[in-house]
């Protein structure tokens, strides 16, 4: 099922956030604020919201700048911003958090993040721990390890060679495509991430 509501929320960063809301179908226990991953959009979490709503959770999920239907003057698709992108993303998350506090005063808020969204959620929680009751961090990779260090070297080399505004062509082949091919009978190279068609 789709979310109950799709709306727009003006952020102090100048972004017009595309926001989805699913209301709790039982006595409200808490609000889950979802932060999606890289190259995703919030609508992909509709089934998760459908699972949470009957258990008493309101769900709020927005498209990050450079993703989905969010509009920001300095964020083309796939890019947070021309400058200060992470700070702007956190400010956008804060704007959604403020709306949740206004619409559901007194309810605990659980900040959820998947993959890149896990990094965003953790960053938000570290800056605003007094406003968050819990965090759910899924598939966050916070340890660079040898492969992470190699990836940073590749990105640095490609940035020097191609410039900072040109996406890496090599790193997706070494990661996403390799992971996709590892899934037996894959339909797409992103089946490693999800079977969902959305």
Q: Give the model's pLDDT for residue 138.
A: 84
**Residue 197 pLDDT > 60, yes or no?**
no
Alpha helices in the chain (DSSP H): 46-52, 85-103, 116-127, 145-162, 170-172, 178-181
Same domain, 126 and 47: yes
The domain boundary, picked from 115, 142, 169, lies at: 142
More confident residue, 14 or 172: 14
The domain boundary, picked from 142, 160, 179, lies at: 142
Q: Give the model's pLDDT for residue 126.
A: 93
Identify the CATH number of the domain in which residue 26 sits.
3.40.50.1820
Whether 42 contacts 65, CB under 8 Å: no
Summary mean pLDDT of the chain: 89
Same domain, 127 and 34: yes
Same domain, 194 and 157: yes
Same domain, 83 and 177: no
Q: Give the model's pLDDT for residue 109.
A: 98
What does 79-109 look like in DSSP terms, one character per residue? -S-SS-HHHHHHHHHHHHHHHHHHHSTT--E
Same domain, 103 and 161: no
Whether 64 contacts 127, CB under 8 Å: no
Same domain, 78 and 60: yes
**Residue 196 pLDDT > 90, yes or no?**
no
Domain, as residue range, for 125: 5-142
Same domain, 38 and 128: yes
Same domain, 124 and 163: no
**pTM score, whole prediction:** 0.83
Same domain, 123 and 189: no
Q: If pLDDT is split at 50, 70 and 90, which confidence band does 169 have?
A: confident
Ramachandran angles phi, psi of 34, nearest 5°: -95, 135
Same domain, 131 and 115: yes
Q: How far apart, in Å, are the Cα atoms of 12 and each of 85, 96, 187?
A: 13, 11, 40
Residues 13-32: tens digit of each pLDDT:
999 999 999 999 999 999 99
Same domain, 46 and 112: yes
The domain boundary, picked from 97, 116, 142, lies at: 142
Same domain, 149 and 138: no
Say whether 32 sits in a helix, a strand or coil. strand
Residues 139-149: tens digit of each pLDDT:
766 566 777 77
- What domain count does the chain have? 2
């Amino acid at each position: 099922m789709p979310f109950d509501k799709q709306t727009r929320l003006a952020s102090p960063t100048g972004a017009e956030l595309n926001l989805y809301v699913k209301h709790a179908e039982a006595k409200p226990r808490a609000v889950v604020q979802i932060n999606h991953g890289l190259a995703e959009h919030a609508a992909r979490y509709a089934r998760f919201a459908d699972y949470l709503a009957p258990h008493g959770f309101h769900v709020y999920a927005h498209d990050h700048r450079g993703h989905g239907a969010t509009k920001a003057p300095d964020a083309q698709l796939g890019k947070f911003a021309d400058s200060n992108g992470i700070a702007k993303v956190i400010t956008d998350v804060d704007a959604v958090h403020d709306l949740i506090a206004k619409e559901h005063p007194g309810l605990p808020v659980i900040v959820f993040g998947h993959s890149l969204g896990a990094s965003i959620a953790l960053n938000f929680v570290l800056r605003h721990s007094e406003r968050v009751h819990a965090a759910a961090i899924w598939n966050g990779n916070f340890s660079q390890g040898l492969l992470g260090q190699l990836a940073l070297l590749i990105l640095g080399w490609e940035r020097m060679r191609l410039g900072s505004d040109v996406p890496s062509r090599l790193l997706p082949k070494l990661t996403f495509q390799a992971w996709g091919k590892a899934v037996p009978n894959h339909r797409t190279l992103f089946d490693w991430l999800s079977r969902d068609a959305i």
